[in-house]
Structure 1
Amino acid sequence: MERQLAYFAWSLIFCLMAGMSLVQPCQAAHEPFGIRMTDRATGRGIPLVELTSTTHEKWFTDSAGWVVIDQPDLMGRELHLTIESPGYLAPKDGFGFTGQRVKVESGKQVTISLERQQLAERLYRTTGHGIFRAARRLEIPDLPSEPAAAARIAGCDSVLVTRYRNQLHWFWGDTPVLEYPLGNFHMTGATTPLPSEVPPLDQQPPFYHYFVKPDGAVKPMMPMPGDGPTWMGGLFTIRDTSGQERMVAGYSKIKSGLESYRRGLAVWNDTQNQFEPLCEFPAGKSFYPISQHHVLQTTIEPEDDRYLYFCQPFPLVRVLKSWEAIQAIDRYESYTCEAAHSTEESPALDRDANGHLKYEWKRGFKPLTSARLQLWITLGLLKEQESLIALTDHFTGEPIEVHYGSTSWNPYRKQYITIFSQLHGKKSEDRPASTLGNVWLTTAPSLTGPWSKATLLATHGPYSFYNPLQHPEFSEQNGRIIYFEGTFTKSFSGLTESVPLYEYNQLMYRVDLDGVKAE
C-alpha cells in the first residue's frame, strides 16, 4: 500500500512538472511589441491610424503615432495589418491589399511610413484621457505631460480661446468624465502661458491648467440660471467703464437636444474663477454672440478695430467695442443685402436705382449665411454671381455647403483666411462621403468677402470634425505656418462605433500655406 501511495505521489509530481513545462512558454514574461506610424515627409508620428488584423482586431495609434501589441498568442508570429487613416496613404501589395506584414516580437519596435495626401498635418489630440498611452507603455522618453488625466476628463467638445490677464484662457463645451457618461455640461476651462512663453505647437500640446473643484474634478465655468446645458459663443475681452479688462462671452441655455431657450452675455468673476450673468437678450434674436461664434482676433483697418466681429464662420456680425454697446441688442449689426421690409415668409433684397445689390451693415437683421443666400438664389431674388458666399472646390468646381468655422487675418497671405467644416461632403475618388468631416480653407481680400474658391485641408473619413478654430496667436514665420483644431466624433455621421480615446475630443492640425493654392 505504501509503495502504491509513493508511486501515485511521484506520478502526480511528474505530471504537474510536465504540465508546468507545457504552459510555461505561454506564461513566460514578454515585453510589448510597438509599431509607430510616421509621416513620410516629416518623420513625425501620425495619430488616428487604424490597424486591423485578419482576425479583425483593431489598434489605433496614439498622439505619438504608436500602437502596442502585447497579446501572448501573437508573440513570434507574422501578422498582416490593414492600415487606414483619413488623409494618409498606406502602400498596397500585388493583390491590392492596403497594409503591411510585421513580425510580432517581444520588446521590438518597427516603424511604418505613410504618405500624406492632404495639406493639413495631423499633430495630436489635445484633450481627453490617454493621449500618449501606447508611447508611455513602451517607455518612449520625453513625452509631454497629460493634465487631462488628473482632471479625469474623457472628452471635450468645441473649444474657444482668448487672451486675458497675460494668459490664454481656454473653454470647452460638454465634457464627459471617466467616472460617468454625464460629466460637466456648463463649460470646462483652463489656462496656459502666452505663446511666447511655451514651445511651438508642433513640439507639444498646450499644457492646460484646468479649473477644478476641491475633489479634483473639472469645475463648471458657466453655470447660468435655468435647466439644461450651457453653451458658450463669442469669447472676447473688453474694457469696462472704469477701464478694467473684463472677459465676456455669449451663453445659450439648451433644451431638447439642440434648442436654445435663453441667451445673453456672461462676465468672468476673477474671485470665483467662473462666469456670472451680465445681461439677457430677448428670445428670437440671432445677431449677437451665439454658440460657436468665434471672435475675429486681428484686423488691418483702423475702422475695423473699433468693432468686435463674430464669425460663424464669416465675420458678418459686429458691435462697437464698448461696455455699453455689447449689452444692447439694438447695437449689433449684420452685413446683409436684405431690405427693410423683408420677412422670412416674403424675403426681399435691397437694390439701388440701377438694380445693383446693396450689401451694408444694418441693425436688426439676421446674419447672412450660405444657406440663406442659396435660398434667395432658388427663389430668383439673387443671381449666383451676386452672392457674397458662393464657395466651390478650387480644383473641381463642385459647390461646397458651409458649416461653422473661424476667420483670421493672415499677414503672410495678406488676406483673411476662413477655415470651416463642410456639410454633406460627396464621395470622390480619394475620400468617402462625409456628413461633417471635411475641412476647407478659403480667403478673402476684406473681412466682408467675397468668398468663392476653397481648398480642402483635411478629411476624417465618415467621421465628423466640426467647429474648427484657428490659432493665429501660435502661427509661425509671419503666418506661413498656421494651426487649427476641432472636435472629432462619430456624432452626426450615422456610425455606431466610436474610435477609442479619440471620440468627442479635439484634434490639432498644422498647415504650411505655401502648399495651399492662392487666389
Structure 2
Amino acid sequence: MKRVSFLLTLTGLACAAEPCRIEVVDKENGWPVPMVELRTTHEARYVTDNAGLVALEDNDLFDREVYLHVKGHGYGVPKDGFGFQGVRVTPKAGGKVRIEVERSNVAKRLGRVTGAGQFAESGKLGIKAPLPETGVYGCDSVLMAKHGSKLFWLWGDTTMPNYPLGIFDSTAALTELQPLKEFKPPIAMPYTLFRDDKGRARGVAKMPGDGPTWLGGMTSVPDKGGKPQLVALYSKIKNHLDEYEVGLCRWDEKKSEFEKVKVVWKDGDGKKPLLPRGHPFTWKDAAGEEWLLFGDPFPEARCEASYEAWSDPAAWEKVEEAAAPRSAEDGSEVKPHRGSVVWSPFRKKWISIFTQTYGKPSTFGEIWYAEADSPMGPWGKAVKVLTHDNYTFYNPKIHAELTPEKASFIVFEGTYTAEFADKPQPTPRYNYNQILYRLDLDDPKLKGAQ
C-alpha cells in the first residue's frame, strides 16, 4: 500500500507543469507593478508580488486563450464595449506573458514593505527573495523617527501566523539611515525587528492595563544634556477604538522597550486635554526658536524642541489648525483625515500627504497632496495622487528621512486594509499591511497644487 501511494505521489510530481510567468508592468516606464489582481472568468484570482509577478500553475488555463480581468487601484487597462477591463492571453507551461497597465495615479507604487510573502510568486518561479521572511503577516499604522545613527520604525497591532492580532502592543525595527538604494520596484526593506528569546517578533510597548496599546506622536528629541530621547504618546484601548487612558512614554535603551513616563488623561477625567498626536516635525519660527509641531496632518499643538518641554503638559501650546485645502480640480473642500507634513528642499515649500475624509470612490482611501509657505498654512489647492476602489489606505506618512536631501521626489507609506470599506474582498497577503509609494514633485500633474 505504501509503495502504491509513493508511486502515485511520483506520478503527480511528474505531471506537475512548470509555471507560466506573468509579469505586469507600468506601460509608461516598464516598472513592475505590485498588487495588481488578475481574475479569470471562473473566478480564479491571482495577485502580483513586489516584483510584479504571478506564477500561473493551473493546468486548466494552459494552451488556450484566457481572459483575465485586471484590477490595480490606480493601475489598469481600457474598458471594452461591455465595460470589462481585462486582457486576453494564452498561457503556456514554462512560458512568459507580459501585461502592460496604464497608471492613473500620480504616485507610483513601489511595493509592500511589511508582511509575509512579499516575493511569494517570484519564489514559485525559482527567483530567490532578496530578504528572508520576518515571521510577521500584517502591520498597522507606521511611525518612524531618526534616532541616533538609525531609523526607528514602529507599527501598531500586528498580525502573526498564530493569531490575527498576535501582537497588540506595537512591534518595532531598526534600519540604516539609507536602507533603500533605489526608489523603483522591486523593493525590499531590510528591517531588523526587535525579537524575543525565541526569535519571534515581540511587542515593545507593554503599558499596564487591559486591551491594546497604541502609540502616536513618536519623535526623537534631545534632553538638557543633549542626549536624544525617543518618546511617544501612548493610548490604552477598549471596545475596538475607544481610549481609556492616554499618557507619555520613553524608549528604554537597555530594555529595548517603551516605559511609562506619566498619565496625562484617563477615563472619568472629563474632556481630553491638548495632546501631542500625529507625526511630529521640527520648525523654527521667525525668531529662530525651534519647536516640535504635532498634528494629523496639520499642526494643532507645539512645544519647545526638548525632552523637558515634551514631558511637561504645561509647556504644550495650542496652535490654530489650518483650514482644509480645496481641490485644484473643482474647488471643493478636501477635508483631511490623517497624514503628515514635511519640508521639501526641492520645492522650497512645506508639503503634505493626507487621506481624505469620506472621499470617492473609496471612503478612506483617497490620498491628496498640498503645499504651503508655512506649516501653519494656509494650504494651497490640493491634487489627488492616489485612489482606491472600495478599499482603505489610512495614516499615510511621508518618509523624508529615506530620500536624498534634495531629491525631486518623496516616498510615503500607509496602511492598506479592507477595514472601513463596503465589504471588499481582502487582497491576499497585502491586506492590513504597509504599501510604499513614490511621488515625483516635478510631475506636471501636480501643477494645480504648485
Fold match, TM over 0.5? yes
Post-superposition CA distance 1:48-79 (Å, at most 9, x none): 11111111111111111111211122222221
Q: 1:410 aligns with which of 325, 337, 344?
A: 344
Post-superposition CA distance 1:379-419 (Å, at most 9, x none): xxxxxxxxx41322111222222100000011111111010
What is the aligned-residue identity percentage? 38
User: 1:390–1:452: 8 Å Cα contact kept in structure 2?
Assistant: no
Q: Measure, in 2, the Cα distance between the counterparts of 1:251 and 1:26.
A: 53
**Aligned residue runs from structure 1 range 19-418, under 5 A:** 28-93=15-80, 96-140=83-127, 143-146=129-132, 149-150=133-134, 152-195=135-178, 198-202=180-184, 204-283=187-266, 284-290=271-277, 293-297=278-282, 299=283, 301=285, 303=287, 306-336=290-320, 368=321, 388-418=322-352
State the 1:208 CA deviation.
0.3
Unaligned runs of 5+ in 1: 1-15, 337-367, 369-387, 427-432
User: 2:390–2:424: 8 Å Cα contact kept in structure 1?
Assistant: no
Q: Measure, in 1, the Cα distance between the counterparts of 2:371 and 2:276.
A: 23
State the 1:257 CA deviation.
1.2
Q: Do the aligned partners of residues 303 and 193 (structure 1) sit closer, same or farther apart at CA in structure 2, a change above 3 Å counting?
A: farther
Partner of 2:402: 474
Q: Measure, in 2, the Cα distance between the counterparts of 1:446 and 1:241.
A: 28
Post-superposition CA distance 1:109-144 (Å, at most 9, x none): 111111111110011000001011101211236x42
1:455 partner letter: V
Q: Do the aligned partners of residues 410 and 302 (structure 1) sit closer, same or farther apart at CA in structure 2, a change above 3 Å counting?
A: same
User: 2:51–2:119: 8 Å Cα contact kept in structure 1?
Assistant: yes
Q: Measure, in 2, the Cα distance between the counterparts of 1:439 and 1:93.
A: 28
User: 2:293–2:301: 8 Å Cα contact kept in structure 1?
Assistant: yes
Q: 2:365 aligns with which of 437, 442, 446?
A: 437
May I ask how many residue pairs the two structures share in their alignment? 435
The SS at the match of 1:407 is: strand
Give TM-score scaled by structure 2 length. 0.91
- Point out the structure with the larger helix share: 1
Q: Do the aligned partners of residues 41 and 128 (structure 1) sit closer, same or farther apart at CA in structure 2, a change above 3 Å counting?
A: same
1:417 partner letter: I
In our comparison, the structure showing a higher alpha carbon Rg is 1
Q: Do the aligned partners of residues 322 and 175 (structure 1) sit closer, same or farther apart at CA in structure 2, a change above 3 Å counting?
A: same
Post-superposition CA distance 1:286-327 (Å, at most 9, x none): 42223xx10125x46564652111121012211112332212
The SS at the match of 1:232 is: strand
Q: Measure, in 2, the Cα distance between the counterparts of 1:235 and 1:199.
A: 26
Unaligned runs of 5+ in 2: none
Q: Measure, in 2, the Cα distance between the counterparts of 1:484 and 1:205.
A: 15
User: 2:77–2:85: 8 Å Cα contact kept in structure 1?
Assistant: yes
User: 2:345–2:405: 8 Å Cα contact kept in structure 1?
Assistant: no
Q: Do the aligned partners of residues 401 and 243 (structure 1) sit closer, same or farther apart at CA in structure 2, a change above 3 Å counting?
A: closer
State the 1:452 CA deviation.
4.1
Q: Measure, in 1, the Cα distance between the counterparts of 2:307 and 2:208.
A: 22
The SS at the match of 2:384 is: strand
State the 1:165 CA deviation.
2.2
State the 1:26 CA deviation.
11
C-alpha RMSD over aligned residues: 2.2
Q: Do the aligned partners of residues 303 and 268 (structure 1) sit closer, same or farther apart at CA in structure 2, a change above 3 Å counting?
A: farther
The SS at the match of 1:113 is: strand
Partner of 1:351: none
Q: Measure, in 1, the Cα distance between the counterparts of 2:27 and 2:249.
A: 47
User: 1:296–1:311: 8 Å Cα contact kept in structure 2?
Assistant: no
State the 1:25 CA deviation.
10
State the 1:219 CA deviation.
1.4
Give TM-score scaled by structure 1 length. 0.80
User: 2:280–2:293: 8 Å Cα contact kept in structure 1?
Assistant: yes
2:131 partner letter: S
User: 2:177–2:402: 8 Å Cα contact kept in structure 1?
Assistant: no
Q: Do the aligned partners of residues 265 and 98 (structure 1) sit closer, same or farther apart at CA in structure 2, a change above 3 Å counting?
A: same
User: 1:88–1:115: 8 Å Cα contact kept in structure 2?
Assistant: yes
> Which moves more between the two structures, 446-455 or 26-35?
26-35
Post-superposition CA distance 1:85-130 (Å, at most 9, x none): 1112314446553211111211111111111111100110000010
Q: Measure, in 1, the Cα distance between the counterparts of 2:289 and 2:400.
A: 17
**Aligned residue runs from structure 1 range 439-518, under 5 A:** 439-476=367-404, 478-515=406-443, 516-517=446-447, 518=449
State the 1:44 CA deviation.
1.1
Q: Measure, in 1, the Cα distance between the counterparts of 2:86 and 2:226.
A: 61
State the 1:440 CA deviation.
0.3
